[in-house]
């Protein structure tokens, strides 16, 4: 079975502060990990995926197989980063995507 855990429901930081949204997963094989973001009144959209190894909007995430984590990080948070963030796991092409419970990020001015 595959499981994704986001331990924080809410994360509040000040503008310019570093931010880290935690994600831990449980999966017996080689997972593919994603971060999806939902801004206010917008649809859910892909932020980044671990196989791309890229930085999107200043966010990065590294897959740590030893710790089974895929934490999302940004060195300097911006107010426009305020949104709901979901970590998701897939067991491979054709497999379903399992979402974590989501973390609401609030960036205060």
Query: For residue 77, what are its two tokens?
Result: 């948070």
Closer residue to another protein (CB): 15 or 60: 60
- CB of 89 within 8 A of CB of 4? yes
**Which residue(s) pair with 24 in the sheet?**
5, 69
Closer residue to another protein (CB): 38 or 60: 38
Footprint of another protein on 73-92 (CB under 8 A):
86, 90, 92
Contacting residue, 2, 32, 56, 60, with another protein by CB under 8 A: 32
C-alpha 46/C-alpha 37 separation (Å) is 6
Residues that bind another protein (CB under 8 A): 32, 34, 36, 42-46, 49, 86, 90, 92-102
């Amino acid at each position: 079975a595959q499981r994704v855990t986001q331990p924080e429901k809410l994360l509040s930081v000040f503008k310019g502060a570093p931010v880290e949204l935690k994600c831990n997963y449980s999966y017996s094989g080689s997972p593919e990990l994603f971060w999806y973001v939902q801004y206010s009144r917008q649809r859910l959209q892909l932020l980044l995926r671990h196989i791309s190894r890229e930085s999107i909007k200043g966010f990065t995430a590294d897959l740590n197989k030893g710790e089974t984590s895929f934490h999302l990080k940004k060195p300097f948070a911006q107010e426009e980063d305020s949104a709901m963030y979901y970590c998701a796991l897939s067991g491979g092409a054709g497999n379903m995507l399992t979402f974590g419970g989501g973390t609401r990020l609030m960036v205060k001015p």
